Amino acid sequence: MSSKLSSTQIAWRAAQDITDGAYVNLGIGFPEMVARFQPPGREAIFHTENGILGFGEAPAVGEEDWDLINAGKKAVTLKPGTAFFHHADSFAMVRGGHLDVAILGAYEVAETGDLANWSTGPKGVPAVGGAMDLVHGAKRVAVITDHVTKDGKPKLVKRCSLPLTGVGCVTRVYTSLAVIDIEGGHFILREKLPSLSVEDLQAQTGAELLVPGPVADLLVPEL
């Protein structure tokens, strides 16, 4: 296995924890990959903020119907039972607590569960979309992300320095190096790459990693 997981492998790992029949919203971009990897015998029902519930996989290239797109403007297909509704009704579903899971990307995640994923600061282009609604409306909020930034700085930190999307909302983070829960204001290490020691992982994490019990090997297929 390589020294870190690819984005596709992180998405695969996150998909393994989605229960059968769960109503799921996937953030625009990287998190959309999670939909490719539903485990056999399980079927999630995917929701998109622009008003579709229960859509299918992406169409083959050249077979797109551009009247059928998700919130990220990517073409989708329909499945039996797919529902369409007004944008306002879609957000009412989010705000009303009807989604089981939201899986989002992140610039920073704090040990308190705070999430920053919509702005990189004064020079960035803000793009919050529905994220602020999702992190407070979904029953479970998970993040998928590289463990560090492109210049090697920790993305898992003690306190976020960037504008917040939500406070105390994230409960699990799937990174390129580990699976980490957030409980009681602390990062709890659950899984890590077998090639990486806890000390090496801690050196790349901006807050203390607690290890209250056995840490499982983070094993994913080559994708």
Catalytic residues: 49
Q: What's the number of CA atoms in the CB half-sphere (13 Å) around residue 43?
A: 7
DSSP string for residues in 206-221: BSPEE--S--EE----
**Contacts of residue 87, Cβ cutoff 8 Å, sequence gap at least 6:** 49, 50, 51
Distance CA 221, CA 46 (A): 24
Nearest to 18 by CA among 105, 142, 136, 179: 142
User: With contact defined as beta carbons under 8 Å apart, do 81 and 71 qualify?
Assistant: no
φ, ψ at 21 (rounded to 5°): 80, 5
* Tokens representing residue 12 in the block: 């695969």
Q: Are 205 and 156 in contact (CB under 8 A)?
A: yes
- Residue 222 CB contacts under 8 Å (≥ 6 apart), including other chains: none
Residue 54's closest CA among 18, 19, 23?
23
